[in-house]
A and B are shown apart, each in its own frame.
Chain A
Amino acid sequence: QSALTQPASVSGSPGQSITISCTGTSSDVGGYNYVSWYQQHPGKAPKVMIYEVSNRPSGVSNRFSGSKSGNTASLTISGLQAEDEAYYYCTSYTTSSTLNWVFGGGTKLTVL
């Protein structure tokens, strides 16, 4: 089961915007609008921030937004805050595995 490709790390200063990419194939990210993004702070369970590429669950700040172009999905965080420092994981529905679900490798966001 191949993982989706994410950058290992990104960083930004408070107030800035950053974007995290998640690259897959036409069997997952590119073929379906079932990309989700999760935030994970150390020692905590992940929390969904974006689902179906660009939808935000209730309670999630509108500073978080998602998009997709071809086989690459993106998570953008605007107005960076210290509390945004965490790991971020993308997932997608996939037809390349009998599990039908695949994770990205994760990205560490550092707020400078």
Chain B
Amino acid sequence: QLQLQESGSGLLMSSQTLSLTCSVSGGSITSGGYSWSWIRQPPGKGLEWIGFIYQSGNTYYNPSLKSRVTISLDRSKNQFSLKLSSVTAADTAVYYCARGDGSSWLIDYWGQGTLVTVSS
């Protein structure tokens, strides 16, 4: 059973860089046919895709966040990471890491989510 677990800074000040890591167990991030996503949900609001990465290293970002986002893979640790620069209070959200099935375009596994709060 695949499991994903987010970890990283939970409280940030405005203008800092958010850094989160997703540790994957029960499967390899180098398996073909899957994408590895970051999705966020502001308190009381809907889901927003931040971006995703394939095992090839190709990345795809939400155009509204693209200038501030970097998603990367660490194959040796079976992890993938998110960096979001110049955060503001609007970036306060629960951040989920997730696996996408590339053939069916669905998210089949999710992490439990981690709350990141940006304080001004």
Task: Report which A residues bind B (CB closer than 8 A).
Answer: 1, 3, 32, 34, 36, 38, 40, 45-48, 51-52, 55, 57, 89, 91-93, 97-106
Task: Report which B residues bind A (CB closer than 8 A).
Answer: 46-49, 51-52, 60-64, 96, 100-101, 104-108, 110-113
Contact of A52 among B64, B104, B113 (CB under 8 A): B104
**A100, B47: Cβ atoms closer than 8 Å:** no
A-B interface pairs (CB < 8 A), number: 71
**B63, A36: Cβ atoms closer than 8 Å:** no
**A1, B62: Cβ atoms closer than 8 Å:** yes
Residue among A32, A45, A92 with the most chain B CB within 10 A? A45
**B60, A98: Cβ atoms closer than 8 Å:** yes
Contact A1:B64 (CB < 8 A) given known A45-B113, A101-B49, A103-B47: yes
Chain B's interface: helix, strand, loop or mixed, by majority? strand
**B106, A36: Cβ atoms closer than 8 Å:** yes
**B63, A97: Cβ atoms closer than 8 Å:** yes
Q: How far is the CB of A81 from chain B (nearest CB, A)?
A: 23
Contact A36:B105 (CB < 8 A) given known A46-B110, A98-B60: yes
Q: How far is the CB of B42 from chain A (nearest CB, A)?
A: 12
**B106, A52: Cβ atoms closer than 8 Å:** yes
- Please give 4 more A-B residue pairs, beta carbons under 8 A apart, in addition to A1-B49, A52-B104: A48-B107, A48-B108, A51-B105, A99-B49
Contact A89:B47 (CB < 8 A) given known A99-B60, A99-B62, A99-B63: yes
**B104, A51: Cβ atoms closer than 8 Å:** yes
Cβ of B100: which chain A residues have Cβ within 8 Å of it?
A: 101
Cβ of B60: which chain A residues have Cβ within 8 Å of it?
A: 98-100
The residue in chain B whose Cβ has the minimal distance to the Cβ of A6 is B46
The residue in chain A whose Cβ has the minimal distance to the Cβ of B97 is A45
Q: Can you report 10 A-B residue pairs in the complex whose CB atoms are below 8 A from each other?
A: A1-B49, A38-B107, A45-B113, A46-B107, A46-B110, A51-B101, A51-B104, A92-B105, A103-B48, A105-B46
